[in-house]
């Protein structure tokens, strides 16, 4: 009986050691909007208001709506279908925080971040929307 207990304990230690190891590779999320850049698309998601403007949130995407700051009240938080042309901008106000200086307005990012890449976002231009 002691032998079986020792074997089970050893198996548990090996399994725990394997599962505690961090993954050796990081899977990047699929950029579903990049392939549709410049094209007219229809996306279905939830109408969301953020500090930088209205956006549409879906399972695999988040996209701003060009030209509107807030969704009309009857759309906010509801599932909508939006048709527009996918464009991109590099205009998010990102900055690397310096502990020796006062904070500026914007989105703080970790040291070493590529600020141009971090400022990227997709938008729907000439958007038309309806409730789903």
Reported as a single tens digit per residue, the pLDDT across 56-71 is 999 888 999 999 999 9
Q: Which two tokens stand for residue 125?
A: 């231009």
CATH assignment of 31-131? Answer: 2.40.50
pLDDT higher at 83 or 52? 83
The pLDDT of residue 5 is 42
Q: How confident is the model at residue 12 (pLDDT cuts 50, 70, 90)?
A: very low
For the chain, give the percent of residues with pLDDT over 90.
Answer: 61
What is the C-alpha to C-alpha distance for residues 34 and 91, in angstroms, rounded to an integer?
A: 17
Number of H helices, E strands in the chain: 2, 7
Question: What is the phi/psi pair of residue 34, to 5°?
Answer: -60, -40
Q: Where are the domains of the chain?
A: 31-131
Place of tokens 């032998």: 3
Measured between alpha carbons, how far is 3 from 5 in angstroms, rounded to an integer? 5
Residue 95's H or E segment, with its range, is: strand 94-96
**CA-based Rg of the chain, rounded to a whole angstrom?**
23
| Per-residue pLDDT at 9 | 41
**CB 91 within 8 Å of CB 114:** no
Contact 20, 35 (CB under 8 A): no
According to the model, what pLDDT value does residue 30 have?
Answer: 54
For residue 121 the two structure tokens come to 């976002």
Summarize pLDDT for 34-46 with one digit per residue, the tens. 899 999 999 999 9
Dihedral sign (CA 17, 22, 25, 30):
positive
Tens-place pLDDT, residues 80-128: 999 999 999 999 999 998 888 887 888 999 999 999 999 999 999 999 9
């Amino acid at each position: 009986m002691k032998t079986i207990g020792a074997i089970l304990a050893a198996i548990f230690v090996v399994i725990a050691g394997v599962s505690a190891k961090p993954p050796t590779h990081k899977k990047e999320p699929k950029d579903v909007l990049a392939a549709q850049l410049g094209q007219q698309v229809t996306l279905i998601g939830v109408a969301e208001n953020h500090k930088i403007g209205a956006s549409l949130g879906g399972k695999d995407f988040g996209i701003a709506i060009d030209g509107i700051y807030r969704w009309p009240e009857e759309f906010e938080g509801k599932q909508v279908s939006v048709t527009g042309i996918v464009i991109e901008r590099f205009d998010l106000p990102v900055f690397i925080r310096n502990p020796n200086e006062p904070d500026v307005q914007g989105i703080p990012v970790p040291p070493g971040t590529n600020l141009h890449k971090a400022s990227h976002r997709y938008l729907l231009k000439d958007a038309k929307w309806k409730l789903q």
